[in-house]
Structure 1
Amino acid sequence: MSENSNEPIELVKTLRPYHVWALGVGIVLVGEYMGWNFTVAKGGIMGSLFALLVAGTMYVMVSLCASELGSSTKLAGGPYDWARLFVGPGAAAIVGLAVYMEYIALEAADAIVVAWIAQSIFPEIQTFPVTLLVIAALTFMNYRGVVAALNLNFALTFTALLAIIVFFFMNIAGAAGGAWNPANLISGAMPNGFVGIFAALQFGPWFYLGIEGAAMCAEECKHPTRAIPLGQQAGMITLLLAAGMTLYTCAGFIPTEMLGVSAYPLYEAATQSGVKFLIAFLAVGTLFTCLASANGTVCDSSRSWFALSRDHFLTPWFSAVHPRYSTPYRAVIFTMPIAIAFAFSGFLDQVITFSITSGLVCYVMIPFSLIRFRKMFPEHTQKVRPFVGPLQPYLAYFTIFLAIVIMSTLNWGYSYNLVFGLVFYVVAYFYFSWRYRSIESKHDWGEDLGWPEPAHRR
């Protein structure tokens, strides 16, 4: 399709459920390899377990909301499009921007870690050129086509997940060395009391951060009404199991005071085992999961930017689809300078915290979009709602509550980041609300989505 054609812009529909799984799990699995262990520094083993369960509960409900909305709307913008259709333009712009920033910051963090791994192997190299190379290579991969990018993600993610599973079961079978010590689970249970357990929630999202992005490829799925719910829920189940295996294994191999500050906890746990096969396998898994996460974030962030551009919140220039590769190539390319700017800071924890803050903004708006969707279209017809989540909208209200509670825990250690993030999105909200006054907003539900007129309007 020519860029100057008057035909509607379309993305190629080729993705299947395993691509959706690979996108969601690929983005998130890096959180099992690193970052989650900061929950241990705050609240010990009990704090980490509490954060795993509470954040896991929130993400299960977010995934159910995303599955219902994604399979219904089948649009590339994901949370942005849901807010645009069911909440309003100001909220839509904020969600689109939050999704973009969440994934771009995560891409930068992943690229920084890959550079650190490379430097640990080859001490003479500089980290920043490696970071640039990783970002550029993955941008090019997504520029060439989404199928190739997500096939790569599937291979990388499956290998990294297999490493966790093998490590866990070899340890259970007693074949992972004799260094696993169950006393570590008790001695480091609550070093900072109940306040520490609550404070650990701020890093709980790292176990699952970004799984909602699996629904952002809905417009490129061959059968989105099946692929989105199946891929999204399979991904969430995978992450819950991987998180539990990771915490159990690492907590036994590494004392609490060391686990809470470890850069690569799974790899360090493997080194404690002394088994060369596991050390090599977990080293490869650490590298692969960082690459898979960075690759998936390029895909998701570019789709959010593409959707914002297509609806004229940004210049329409970014909404061009490549005539040969059928990718939003300009939106993909634009992810590169923003990710480099984040990476240039070099402050990994600050970049991660901004990504978490942006994600939590989305976790408030995604369930709120579902609540509005249910009010506007209460009928449970196959055309409007091919997937129906259980216990809605009550789960959506509870999700909003949990997201706000977890966001409040950032006050312990990252209060300035929290204030800066919220001010950033408030300013952006007013800017986009002002900008949207000159943009015509009409929803032709029949023509755009094939739906009847809503029973309840905004």
Structure 2
Amino acid sequence: MAETPAGAGQPRLERRLGLTDAVVIGLGSMIGAGVFSALTPAAVAAGSGLLLGLGLAAVVAYCNATSSARLAARYPASGGTYVYGRERLGPFWGYLAGWSFVVGKTASCAAMALTVGTYVWPGHQREVAVAAVVALTALNYTGVRKAAWLTRAIVAVVLLVLIAVVMAGLTSGQAQAARLAITPDAGVSGVLQAAGLLFFAFAGYARIATLGEEVRDPARTIPRAIPIALGVTLVVYAAVAATALAVLGPQRLAASAAPLAEAVGAAGMPALAPVVRAGAAIAALGSLLALILGVSRTTLAMARDRYLPPALAAVHPRFTVPHRAEVAVGVVVSALVLTTDLRGAIGFSSFGVLVYYAIANASAWTLSPGEGRPPLAVPVLGLAGCVALAFSLPPVSVLSGSAVLAAGAVLYGTRRVPRRR
């Protein structure tokens, strides 16, 4: 008897997103709070070598993006690497990718929500964070196109703020003096750690792939949208990082709590600092919106295969969104925001994301040329890069990430054994 495909016969999501919507969702996921917050820890790890780390992170991200795009064209369904790993490597590897994504990105959701609260109302950040989670969960509940339109507006605002930062730095005499002091002053380990931290800011292009079931003509749209979004993000990040280094210098950048706001002040335009702070809050809001969107779709895919409660696989009859999965994600994130300090969760999230993309590259490696496999060097380099960056992260992040992945593997085993019997 032929085996019924996973998720067969269940309600499907409606294809509403075009190329522009997919690119904007990817930009909203990447050009977010990371560019406002990741530069400081990267400078601590690598000094001015953070620019090398940025380049390395971009190379790994490009390989991941190419592998993900080819796989998404082959398997245009919600779930991203959870689906690719399951179909190409086996159920366990798909499950491990989905587990890494859902757990890591749920922590990222809470971190982004707290970032919004910190910038909007210091001292009451938890209350603001919960309000942001509730509002964005409600928005996603009413339809994915509304989320895409809000993301488009957020991306426009953040890009304008970042352009203002770059222009302020370029016209500053402070930048001319500081630029002379910039030299690559970090060893290989520092550059690798900076790349691992900065990779966190690139990781949003997976959101395009996880929305594969809602994209029109996914075989054509997704492979075009991912490289476009990644290329724009790399140009923006490189310009902003070079400006911050030129204006502040590596030592001052490493010590700054709000590097871009401090950079415009040092460039002689302190009036721009409140605008930059507002842009940071908006950027974190955009990242939170896209994160909730992506985590709920992977939750939907895993619930369809009964690795998560099957009730989470429900699709709303009117709005055609995974409404129960979205509400569940919103509830869990709100609980984390109220009860947990998630500063250390950023490192864990980076570890989980790198494991997720390692599985994506391994899956792409198994494609045949007729199935649209990228040049073999792409998944090989992407897999090796993900492993190297994951284990270059701080030891606490590596240990906590490995422990959570092991717990997921144990959970998988306990759910599979009774079914085999």
| Correspondence for 1:298 | 292
Q: Could you say which residue in structure 2 is the equivalent of 1:113?
A: 115
Write the letter of the residue equivalent to 1:43.
A
Q: Cα gap change, 1:16/1:44 in structure 2, threshold over 3 Å: closer, same or farther? A: same
Residues 23-59 of structure 1 deviation map (CA, whole Å, 9 limit, x = unaligned): 222122121121233111111112x011101111000
Aligned residues: 412
Partner of 1:144: 142
- 8 Å Cα contact 1:322-1:329 kept in structure 2: yes
**1:446 aligns to what?**
none
Residue in structure 1 matching 2:38, options 25, 35, 38: 35
CA distance 1:180–1:225, change in 2 (3 Å): farther
Q: Distance in 1 between matches of 2:44 and 2:178?
A: 14
Q: Does 2:385 correspond to 1:402?
A: yes
In the alignment, which residue of structure 2 is the partner of 1:283?
Answer: 277
Cα RMSD of the aligned pairs, angstroms, is 2.1
Q: 1:211 aligns with which of 198, 205, 211?
A: 205
Q: Secondary structure at the match of 2:15?
A: coil
Q: 1 CA distance for matches of 2:221 and 2:156?
A: 18
Task: Name the counterpart of 1:362.
Answer: 356
| 4+ residue runs over 6 A deviation | none
What SS class does the counterpart of residue 110 from structure 1 fall into? helix
Please give the residue correspondences for 1:51-66 in structure 2 after superposition, counting only pairs within 5 Å: 51-66=53-68
Supply the AA of the counterpart residue of 1:89.
P
Residues 74-153 of structure 1 mapped to structure 2, 5 A cutoff: 74-120=76-122, 126-153=124-151
Please say which of residues 427-436 and 318-327 is displaced more in the overlay: 427-436
**Shift in alpha-carbon separation, 1:74–1:199, aligned structure 2, 3 A:** closer
Instruction: Give the superposition deviation at 1:141.
Output: 0.8
The answer to whether the 8 A contact 1:64-1:389 is kept is: no
Q: TM-score, structure 1 length as denominator?
A: 0.84
Give the corresponding residue for 1:329. Answer: 323
Residue in structure 1 matched with residue 219 of structure 2 by the alignment? 225
Letter in 2 for 1:287: A
Check 1:170–1:128 CA distance in 2 against 1; reply closer, same or farther (3 A cut).
closer
Q: 1:195 to 1:302 in 2, by over 3 A?
A: closer
Residue identity matched to 1:307:
A
Residue 186 of structure 1 deviates from its aligned partner by: 4.6
- 1:18 counterpart = 2:20: yes
Residue 164 of structure 1: aligned partner: 162
CA distance in 1, matches of 2:305, 2:9: 16
Contact 2:168–2:264 (8 Å) recurs in 1: no
Task: Say if 1:25 and 1:204 are closer, same or farther in 2 by CA, change over 3 A.
Answer: same
SS in 1 for 2:203: coil
Q: Secondary structure at the match of 1:208?
A: helix
Cα distance change, pair 188–169 in 1 and its aligned pair in 2 (3 A):
closer
Give the Å deviation of 1:167. 3.1
The corresponding residue for 1:257 is: 251
Structure 2: distance between partners of 1:188 and 1:170: 19
Quote the offset at 1:149 in angstroms: 0.8
Q: SS of the residue aligned with 1:255?
A: helix
Distance change >3 Å, CA 128–CA 280, structure 1 → 2: closer
Distance 1:179 1:438, change over 3 A: farther
* Residue in structure 1 matched with residue 241 of structure 2 by the alignment: 247
**Measured at CA, do residues 273 and 265 of structure 1 come closer, stay the same or move farther in structure 2, by a change above 3 Å?**
same
Where does the alignment leave 5 or more consecutive residues of structure 2 unmatched? 1-7
Structure 2 equivalent of residue 451 of structure 1: none
Match for 2:406: what amino acid?
V
1:252: how far off? 1.8
Shift of 1:230: 1.6
State the distance in 1 between where 2:332 and 2:257 align.
Answer: 25
What is the CA-CA distance between 1:317 and the residue it aligns to?
0.4
Does the CA-based 8 Å contact 1:99-1:358 persist in structure 2? yes
Gaps of 5+ in 1: 1-5, 441-458
Alignment equivalent of 1:196, drawn from 172, 179, 190 = 190
- The 5 A counterparts of 1:346-385 are 347-372=341-366, 374=367, 378=368, 380=370, 385=371
Partner amino acid, structure 2, of 1:152? L
CA spacing shift, 1:276–1:197, aligned 2, 3 Å: closer
Q: Which residue of 2 aligns with 1:420?
A: 400
Inter-partner Cα distance in structure 2 for 1:198 and 1:314: 35
Equivalence for 1:444: none
User: How far apart in 2 are the matches of 1:184 and 1:273?
Assistant: 11
Q: Report the Cα distance in structure 1 between the residues aligned to 2:351 and 2:177, rounded to whole angstroms.
A: 35
Cα contact 1:364–1:399 (8 A) shared by 2? yes
Distance in 2, matches of 1:206 and 1:347, equals 19
> CA–CA distance in 2 between the matches of 1:346 and 1:269?
31
For residue 69 of structure 2, what is the amino acid of its counterpart?
A: S
Per-residue deviation at 1:192? 5.1
Contact 2:83 2:94 in 1 (8 A): yes
Structure 1 contact 20–215 (Cα < 8 Å) conserved: no
Give 1:51's aligned amino acid. G
